[in-house]
Structure 1
């Protein structure tokens, strides 16, 4: 169950940064509240995951999945570059998260 909590926590981070981008474009209280709720939910689920997953592993995977998800959100929804170098380093982030899970 802890790994499911960690994945949910990562979605909190992914949507949090997406809502920051939307908030910066639209500057409304609604989007600011979405930022706060997304990150709060992410931290809540991260804390639940860390009951069973070591701190270093949980944090590294949470930030790695969050960063990878944020890059993909940027590419698919905000028309950011999807060049080969960016994709290469995105794969490195994912490989690092998988590697940390594998050695646990």
Structure 2
């Protein structure tokens, strides 16, 4: 169950960053509320995952999901560049996250 919590935490991190962009520097209240609520969920689920997964693994996976996911959402929602090099580095992040899952221990 800890890995499910970690996945939910990473997805919440992605939504929080997206809402932060939509908040326009915290000037738009809907985006601001979305960013705050997403941040709360992200840290809550991360704290649950840390009960069973080592912090070195959990934090690496959490930031990897948030980073790669935010890049993909930026491409899909905000028209950011889809440069091949960017896609290569996203793939490297995903490979690193998968590697941490494989060797990271926990349940």
What's the TM-score, normalizing by structure 1?
Answer: 0.96
> In the superposition, relative to structure 1, how do residues 26 and 56 fare at CA in structure 2: closer, same or farther (>3 Å)?
closer
Q: Does 1:77 align with 2:59?
A: no
Runs of 4+, deviation exceeding 3 Å: none
Partner of 1:6: 6
What displacement does 1:63 show?
0.3
Residue deviations 1:24-48, cap 9 Å, x none? Answer: 1782222111110001100000000
- Residue by residue over 1:67-93, the C-alpha shift from the partner in whole angstroms, topping out at 9 and shown as x without a partner, is 011001000010000110000000010
- Alignment: residue pair count: 104
Q: Bigger CA drift: 43-52 or 21-30?
A: 21-30
Counterpart residue number, 2:95: 95
Secondary structure, aligned partner of 2:38: helix
Root-mean-square deviation (CA, aligned residues, Å) is 1.2
Unpaired stretches in structure 2, ≥5 consecutive residues: none
Which whole-Å deviations, capped at 9, do the CAs of 1:11-63 have from their partners, x for residues lacking one?
11100000011011782222111110001100000000000000000000000
Alpha-carbon separation, structure 2, partners of 1:15 and 1:29: 15
